[in-house]
Structure 1
């Protein structure tokens, strides 16, 4: 029965909840914007790692090159989208 219980998934779920609560600390008044953005960035990065490793099983394949290439491609597309949106909507270019 022990091998049927998804211990890693439960730990990942609890970790995700803790990271979400840590991200919610930026709602506290008096935290400077720079500190708040640092907290949000760190918790978002940690949350992405937890999701990739525990729920998407990123380390459980033989073909690691194509897997990591896909992840890097997704990160690049996401960053282009984010900074392109900032460039157009916030910075006025």
Structure 2
């Protein structure tokens, strides 16, 4: 019976709820902007990783290196797009 109970998913759910409580505490506690933004970014990326690995079963297939490589590539493109836009529009640098 123990092998039928999804313990990894239950632990992932509890960890996701803990990360949500930490992120929600930013709203209720009086923190500076930079500290609050740092906490929110860190908890968001950790929670995205938990969701990807535990609930979307990214590491359970035989093609997991391809899945992780594609995810890393997509994250890189997204970050380059966001920071390139910030660089050009807000910070005033032109190429």
Secondary structure of the corresponding residue to residue 57 of structure 2: coil
Per the alignment, residue 24 of structure 1 pairs with 24
What TM-score do the two structures reach when normalised by structure 2?
0.77
Q: 4+ runs of 1 displaced by more than 6 Å?
A: none
Per the alignment, residue 35 of structure 2 pairs with 35
Alpha-carbon separation, structure 2, partners of 1:22 and 1:11: 17
Alpha-carbon separation, structure 2, partners of 1:40 and 1:92: 23
Distance 1:27 1:85, change over 3 A: farther
Distance 1:29 1:65, change over 3 A: closer
The number of residue pairs the alignment matches comes to 92
RMSD: 2.2
Per the alignment, residue 83 of structure 1 pairs with 83
Cα offset for 1:73? 2.1
Query: Looking at both structures, which has the greater relative contact order when contacts are Cα pairs under 8 Å and sequence separation is at least 6?
Result: 1
Structure 1 unpaired stretches of 5+: none
Distance 1:29 1:63, change over 3 A: closer
Shifted more, 77-86 versus 62-71: the winner is 77-86
Shifted more, 78-87 versus 39-48: the winner is 78-87
Alpha-carbon separation, structure 2, partners of 1:2 and 1:52: 24
1:41-80 paired onto structure 2 within 5 Å = 41-80=41-80
Alpha-carbon separation, structure 1, partners of 2:46 and 2:33: 20
